Amino acid sequence: MRRDIDEALQGWPYEPESNEFVAREVRARDGRTVLQIRIELGVLQLEVEGRPDGVRPHGFATYLDYLRHRAAGRGQAPGGKAPPWSMTAEHCAEADREFVQYYHRRVAWLALQHYDRALRDAEHTLTLMDFVCRHGMSAEYIASHERFRGLVLFHRTQAAACLALERHRPEEAIDAVREGADRLARFRNAWGGEPEADEDPNEPLIDQLHQLEHEIRQNFAVEKTLREQLDEAVAREDYESAARLRDQIRARSRR
């Protein structure tokens, strides 16, 4: 049995100067679909379902599920009161492993234009970040993850907007971009960034989202979305128009 990966690398060159994230889906020998990412010294292979490494930590689908189980204090004596729970150094190391795995797969899904899967993986990472904020072992550990929240929010917004465009819903794409830019701005203002940083890394991401919104409006001739019209109706206390717009938004969501 061959143990080298020459066959996988043949015809799949790596060009670091292009700064392009290269990924592909392939069929494994047992028939399942796997995701491959080309890197300088070889290939990363990830599962498309469950954890990217295919592992079930402590029997759970993800390490986040296991951490939730631990934080809930399951398995304690009846009537016992659980003390405040925080992550140990081992928990932090394993959570970091899951963060990295989901980052690779999320970016691969975006590169392959599988926006529904990218959205799902971004949601998982944001939920794991929220857990770390509540149960992280130190402020430094929490900050080491929060500094990347803006990028995850950006990827989530990209995926949501592109998914809406894929479904021929430009108004929903604009609403997704506006919501994502607002979330990024709120996070930027609340977190404040790193004191030693020369510039806010979230500012260029917000600018990119504003540019994306402009391009969608221009390409699809959208002046104001139903949600924007609803906000304006509520602001001027035109509740009859607001009710009508809410009905239209609900009907669109059902479709």
Q: For residue range 104-120, what is the model confidence (pLDDT) as tens digits?
A: 999 999 999 999 999 99
- Mean pLDDT across 11-22: 80
Is the CB of residue 246 less than 8 Å from the CB of residue 230?
yes
Residue 184 pLDDT > 90? yes
The pLDDT of residue 250:
79
5-19, 30-44, 93-107: which has the minimum mean pLDDT? 5-19
Residue of 12, 70, 3 whose CA lies nearest to 37: 12
Residue of 16, 4, 12, 9 whose CA lies nearest to 40: 16
Supply 44's token pair: 């990363």
What is d(CA 167, CA 161) in angstroms, rounded to the nearest whole number?
Answer: 10
How do residues 50-104 score in pLDDT, each as one tens digit? 999 999 999 999 999 999 999 997 544 455 565 679 999 999 999 999 999 999 9
Using 50, 70 and 90 to split pLDDT, how confident is the model at 196? Answer: low
Is the CB of residue 119 less than 8 Å from the CB of residue 165?
no
How do residues 140-178 score in pLDDT, each as one tens digit? 999 999 999 999 999 999 999 999 999 999 999 999 999
Query: What is the pTM for the complete model shown?
Result: 0.85
The pLDDT of residue 83:
65
How do residues 234-252 score in pLDDT, each as one tens digit? 888 877 777 887 877 777 7
Q: Give me Rg for the CA atoms of the chain.
A: 22
The pLDDT of residue 192:
67
The pLDDT of residue 77:
45
> For all residues of the chain together, what is the average pLDDT?
88
- Mean pLDDT across 187-212: 82
79 against 28, higher pLDDT: 28
The pLDDT of residue 52:
97
Residue of 52, 54, 77, 51 whose CA lies nearest to 65: 51
The pLDDT of residue 13:
81
102 against 223, higher pLDDT: 102
